[in-house]
Amino acid sequence: MISSEDVFAMYTIERLADQGWTKEITCNTEFKAFINARTKCMATGRIYRVISSDRTVVCVITLDDCKRQLLAR
């Protein structure tokens, strides 16, 4: 069943679990999805990815990537 949240959402954040990718939340913009996924990654240490509405992987975020990005500043 498709919820109204799924119809209007443009980007989905998924977390890599033992069973595969698990849907976490949806966002209206790529930027919000990226920021939310990065925040979740830094808080949990888990791997996240952002998926567009056509199921294209926009980005994959790992804790090592987050640490490298923060040290670059």
Q: What is the pLDDT of residue 69?
A: 81
Q: Does residue 64 surpass a pLDDT of 60?
A: yes
Question: What pLDDT does 68 receive?
Answer: 87
Residues composing the chain? 73
The tally of domains found in the chain comes to 1
pLDDT band (50, 70, 90) for residue 9: low
Write b or e for each residue in 31-63: b if 16 or more Cβ atoms lie within 10 A of its Cβ, otherwise e: ebbbebbbebbeeeeebbbbbeeeeeeeeebee
Q: Roughly what angle, to the nearest 10 degrees, separates helices 30-44 and 63-71?
A: 100
| Per-residue pLDDT tens digits for 27-63 | 999 999 999 999 999 999 999 999 999 999 999 999 9
Give the domain extent around 39. Answer: 4-71
Tokens of 36: 């939310």
Model pLDDT, residue 71: 78
